[in-house]
Structure 1
Amino acid sequence: MTTAVNPVETSYWVIVPAAGAGKRMGADKPKQYLPLSGKPLIAHTLENILHWPGLKGIVVAIAADDTEFATLRCAQDARIQTVTGGAERADSVLAALDYLSEREAPETSILVHDAARPLVRVADIRKLLAAAPMALLAQPASDTVKLSQTRGGKTEVRETLPRDQIWLAQTPQKAPLGKLRETLLQGLAENSTAITDEASALERAGFHPELVAACRSNFKITHPADLLLAEALLQHRAVESSLENNL
């Protein structure tokens, strides 16, 4: 008796928006090309994605003047395609969706993943692939969450939010190609500042993506200290892998 295969796990694309400058890092080059354990940050992310089960391909949205991407070893993989991204994340995602819309059916599953999240675990990707057609990795809040307000030039607590209802969105975020493109276009036309990720566009259109709990290591590298933490975790995983191979 053969086991049925989830069609999502055998035919999905990953979009990686990588046209931004990453200004919060305060570096002299785009964040995605900063060195991490001997190679650019984005190389770790793409090499991770290339090991996800059932992957059909990756579309990376890069800046029009990007000259570094083509020099990456992983960029030579036939499963990786590039498009010219835009000024904002949503613009880059839409450019990749336009590319795929000419080649794939509207129901094709799309995962959008940050170039600056190199440490997502394959086990969490499997959970995401097995979830609802619209879903995202997220982290349940573990700290007490405060809503702020500004008064008299000072930022103060307005109220404490119910922590058991708070989730911190991560990536990948998953949706069918046609619906994701449609809702992004609609959301950007109505209120572009409200579209901070793919899920927010889906929510504005009345959808309720499933939240899939993910490992805390799937953090986004945003500040210089994050690179140090990522370096330590990569080294730890390398040791773990070495020990497993020697058993």
Structure 2
Amino acid sequence: MTRDALILVAAGKGMRAGGDIPKQYRRIGSQPLLVRTLQNALKAHNFGTIIVVISADDDFAEGCLAPFGDEVRTTIGGATRTDSVRAGLNVLQGERIDHVYIHDAARPFLTQTLLQDLSNALETHQATAPALPIADALKTLEGDSVDRDALRRVQTPQAFRYADILSAFDAAKPGESHADDIAVARAAGLSLSFTSGDPDNFKVTYPEDFAKAERMVDQTYTATGSGFDVHQFDFESNDPLWLCGVPINCGYTLKGHSDADAGLHALTDAILGALCFGDIGDHFPPSDPQWKGASSDKFLLFAMDKVKERKGLLQHVDVTLICEQPKIKPHREAMREKIAELCGLPLSRVSVKATTTEKLGFTGRGEGLAAQAVATVRLGS
């Protein structure tokens, strides 16, 4: 079994990326760029040794790399990338290293497939790198065409048989600066192959690249839940009929263990459904006497607490009331306002509608009413 080492080049200042700290320490989501690169490398491949090459005046590396413990070591780089890589290679001398992978710290999205392809290529070649074809037409500054089929966009990690690339760097003249490590290998006559690159394995270089990287690590998603509830009318009671948190004095009410607010019950179930957290009956069973006559806003507020526990964000709700009576339109705006208050939403994100069943079914016969609701929740994975 081969023993592989990873050298992460993180000694640059990253001035083109903007910001007031080196780009490798700027955060993408909740983590510094360098940490994301390291974490993905560790997930993707079994590296026996990891060296991070940093600048002599680096004030961030120690705190950034502390969670990795002895798994990651640092060394001081030089004035050029070539000097920094040479420093990393020299640290490995005396260790039993077969292959070394040299990677830009600012490419956080390396994958298992990318690394496995490089590993396979080293079985037949001394040096290898991922490369992408060029889709756009190429021109010189004078406007002359360049054959794009003869060119490739070369990425890192670039992988080598360790003894061979160490000799190649030793043979390079002091002070030489090469575009990348493949250039050093080619100058030394090492056999070279290219593997398939990955468009996601881009180098974070400019401010807009951070925005792209942020989108790629965004693990939030939008969940939609639906709810439905039915209650029978009680014509023997003069208590208010509660719908969507609003009392309607119409001379009759709804039968139920709680206040029978079908609108809030449906909405509560919709939110719980978006969370995959059961339904209202699981948490407030009608067999439990403590919920007899309970105000249904308690149920809705419980669902909202669960959204907060998941660090979610309720984005929009839509309630439809299905009945011949009572008339909903005179109370609709009050219902919207009450739901907005309970859910912490702006009024523009709360919809309440009403419809009939054209005299069909139990609602058409005026025996009761139904409510259905849809809720949209933004959640983290």
Answer yes or no: same fold by TM over 0.5.
Answer: yes
The two structures, once aligned, show a CA RMSD in angstroms of 1.9
d(CA) in 2 for partners of 1:196, 1:207: 16
Structure 2: 5+ residue runs without aligned partners? 222-381
Identify the residue that residue 178 of structure 1 maps to in structure 2. 163
Which is higher, the Rg of structure 1 or of structure 2? 2
The correspondence for 2:108, drawn from 118, 128, 134, is 118
SS in 1 for 2:159: strand
Q: Deviations over 1:168-193 (max 9, x none)?
A: 1100001122221221233344x824
Q: Deviations over 1:151-176 (max 9, x none)?
A: xxxxx32x222222211110000112
Identity of aligned residues (%): 30
SS in 1 for 2:165: helix
d(CA) in 1 for partners of 2:194, 2:113: 15
Report whether the alignment pairs 1:98 with 2:81: no
Identify the residue that residue 62 of structure 1 maps to in structure 2. 54
Identify the residue that residue 130 of structure 2 maps to in structure 1. 137
The correspondence for 1:48, drawn from 32, 40, 44, is 40
Please report how far the alpha carbon of residue 74 of structure 1 lies from its aligned counterpart in structure 2 after TM superposition: 5.9
d(CA) in 2 for partners of 1:184, 1:59: 17
Q: Deviations over 1:12-31 (max 9, x none)?
A: 00001111111212321111
Report whether the alignment pairs 1:211 with 2:194: yes
d(CA) in 2 for partners of 1:188, 1:138: 27
| TM-score, normalised relative to structure 1 | 0.82
Note if contact 2:132-2:196 (Cα within 8 Å) is conserved in structure 1: yes
The residue type equivalent to 2:59 in the other structure is T
The correspondence for 2:13, drawn from 9, 21, 32, is 21
d(CA) in 1 for partners of 2:102, 2:151: 22
The residue type equivalent to 1:141 in the other structure is I
Q: Give aligned pairs, total.
A: 218
Structure 1: 5+ residue runs without aligned partners? 1-6, 149-155, 240-247
Report whether the alignment pairs 1:187 with 2:172: yes
The range that moved more, 131-140 or 224-233, is 131-140
Note if contact 1:83-1:95 (Cα within 8 Å) is conserved in structure 2: yes
d(CA) in 1 for partners of 2:192, 2:207: 32
Note if contact 1:47-1:74 (Cα within 8 Å) is conserved in structure 2: no
Q: Deviations over 1:65-114 (max 9, x none)?
A: 22211112565333211111112111111111111013235xx2000000
| TM-score, normalised relative to structure 2 | 0.54
Please report how far the alpha carbon of residue 142 of structure 1 lies from its aligned counterpart in structure 2 after TM superposition: 1.4
Note if contact 2:65-2:72 (Cα within 8 Å) is conserved in structure 1: no
Please report how far the alpha carbon of residue 212 of structure 1 lies from its aligned counterpart in structure 2 after TM superposition: 0.6
Note if contact 1:14-1:59 (Cα within 8 Å) is conserved in structure 2: yes
